[in-house]
């Protein structure tokens, strides 16, 4: 049984402060490069492994690999945050009892350190050759929807037997066994302009048409809320005295299964205009496949058993509506468990925080789980594949 000492917890806390101080907004290449360098240095100190920084379209993704054999377990996280540079001025690092605050503490700089220290703990307790096949990937664009890292995540996940994801856990330490898949669309309506006072009958009113379409779209989701289809941002018209010639509405859809995602996609693509001369064009598509619970079930049972052996509080599971890179990992058919990062709250909000007492537990749990997965690989469920549309990617929480 691997225990995380108080001395190492103090080292982690100092590293945590350094990571939070190194601001890393997704849209700032200079900040991301500095963050990648720092994580590389800290990771090498902890594990003794020199990382490979893979920069794709300016985004530096950090990859640590143990051994040269086939990949077996992937630990996955991201080092970009939603916070703009300068946020530390109004939201500084602070420690108040068990609570640490600051931008990125919960999402997910604490999770980065949990993954690294878990592997470091394993390297102190077992021979490195016994960990051959373990990889750690921290991407730089998750908060943007992973436009440059998606293919890398999918490649490494496809090679692995299991993926552990270090997004924050639930408020009581739960791990995440299911995430809804995300699809983002824009419906464009083209009508015909005319003078609203002189001859409105000559126009084709795009505002009226898009309003009717919104009501149709609103009915595509399921009554129980398991599948949501939400008409969101709508724009139409140019001036009050002109019959609108063009309108658009953005649509956010979330679903628990690939089957439901595909049903929604067919329904949206099957929309027909109410006015015979109005033209409809649907842009976008499926952004992230769901993390279906069946892909997490085996790993969760192992994690729950490990938590009991370690003397941790009973480990529970939750299901969430937002997406993460766990969706991509499960989407290629690899068993995946999410929510192994910090326990806290306030992600993307000015009260973002993590609870320090949970960090040693997460390090110990992750180390035990990796050993279990290496000794007894999980069986891949039969995967249902779907198509993601990179051009429509965007934030998905």
Catalytic residue among 80, 260, 298, 352: 80
- In angstroms, the CA 26 to CA 18 distance is 18
Catalytic residue among 23, 107, 142, 167: 142
Q: Is 351 annotated in the active site?
A: no
User: What pLDDT score does 383 carry?
Assistant: 56
Q: Return the ∠ at Cα 41 (arms to 37 and 43), rounded to 5°.
A: 115
Q: Is 395 helix (H, G, I), strand (E, B) or coil?
A: coil
User: What pLDDT score does 274 carry?
Assistant: 98
Are residues 62 and 137 in contact, defined by beta-carbon separation less than 8 angstroms? Answer: yes
User: What pLDDT score does 97 carry?
Assistant: 96
For residue 193, cis peptide bond before it (omega within 30 degrees of 0): no
- E-strand ranges in the chain read 52-56, 59-65, 73-78, 94-96, 99-101, 134-139, 162-165, 175-179, 181-190, 228-236, 246-255, 279-288, 317-320, 336-337, 344-345, 353-355
Question: Domain map of the chain by residue range?
Answer: 6-179+290-392, 181-287
Quote helix, strand, coil % in the chain, to nearest 5. Answer: 40, 25, 40
User: What pLDDT score does 387 carry?
Assistant: 46
User: What pLDDT score does 176 carry?
Assistant: 98
Identify the segments of the chain with pLDDT beneath 70. Answer: 383-397
- In angstroms, the CA 173 to CA 345 distance is 11
* Of the candidates 95, 115, 97, 74, the residue with the CA atom closest to the CA atom of residue 20: 95
Q: 181-287, which class in CATH?
A: alpha beta
DSSP 378: P
pTM of the model: 0.88
- 277-327 pLDDT, tens digit each: 999 999 999 989 999 999 999 999 999 999 999 999 999 999 998 889 999
At residue 168, φ and ψ (nearest 5 deg) are -65, 150
Q: What would the two tokens of residue 364 be?
A: 């110990």
Q: Is 298 annotated in the active site?
A: no
> Which CATH architecture fits 6-179+290-392?
3-Layer(aba) Sandwich (3.40)
Considering only CA atoms, give the Rg of the chain: 23
């Amino acid at each position: 049984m691997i225990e995380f000492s108080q001395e190492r917890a103090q080292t982690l806390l100092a590293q945590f402060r350094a990571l939070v101080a190194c601001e890393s907004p997704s849209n700032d290449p200079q900040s991301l490069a500095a963050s990648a360098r720092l994580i590389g240095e800290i990771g090498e100190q902890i594990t003794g492994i020199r990382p490979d920084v893979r920069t794709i379209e300016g985004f530096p993704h950090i990859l640590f690999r143990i051994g040269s054999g086939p990949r077996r377990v992937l630990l996955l996280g991201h080092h970009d945050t939603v916070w703009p540079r300068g946020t530390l001025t109004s939201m500084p690092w602070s420690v108040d009892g068990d609570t640490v605050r600051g931008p990125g503490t919960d999402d997910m700089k604490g999770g980065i350190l949990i993954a690294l220290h878990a592997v470091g703990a394993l390297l102190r307790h077992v021979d490195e050759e016994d960990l051959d096949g373990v990889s750690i990937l921290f991407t730089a664009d998750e908060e943007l929807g992973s436009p440059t890292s998606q293919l890398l995540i999918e490649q490494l996940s496809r090679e692995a037997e299991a993926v552990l994801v270090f997004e924050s856990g639930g408020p009581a330490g739960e791990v995440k066994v299911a995430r809804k898949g995300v699809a983002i669309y824009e419906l464009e309506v083209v009508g015909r302009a005319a003078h609203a006072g002189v001859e409105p009958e000559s126009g084709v009113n795009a505002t009226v048409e898009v309003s009717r379409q919104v009501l149709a779209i609103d009915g595509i989701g399921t009554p129980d809320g398991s599948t949501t289809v939400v008409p969101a941002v709508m724009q139409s018209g140019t001036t009050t005295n002109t019959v609108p010639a063009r309108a658009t509405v953005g649509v956010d859809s979330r679903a628990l299964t690939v089957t439901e995602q595909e049903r929604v996609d067919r329904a949206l693509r099957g929309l027909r205009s109410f006015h015979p001369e109005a033209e409809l064009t649907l842009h976008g598509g499926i952004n992230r496949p769901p993390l279906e619970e069946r892909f997490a079930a085996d790993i969760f049972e192992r994690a729950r058993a490990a938590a009991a052996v370690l003397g941790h509080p009973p480990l529970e599971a939750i299901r969430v509506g937002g997406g993460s890179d766990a969706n991509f990992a499960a989407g290629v058919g690899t068993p995946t468990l999410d929510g192994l990062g910090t326990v806290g709250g306030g992600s993307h909000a000015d009260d973002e925080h993590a609870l320090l007492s949970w960090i040693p537990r997460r390090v110990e749990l992750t180390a035990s789980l990796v050993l279990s997965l290496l000794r007894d690989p999980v069986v891949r469920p039969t995967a249902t594949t779907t198509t993601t549309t990179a051009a429509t990617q965007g934030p998905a929480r």
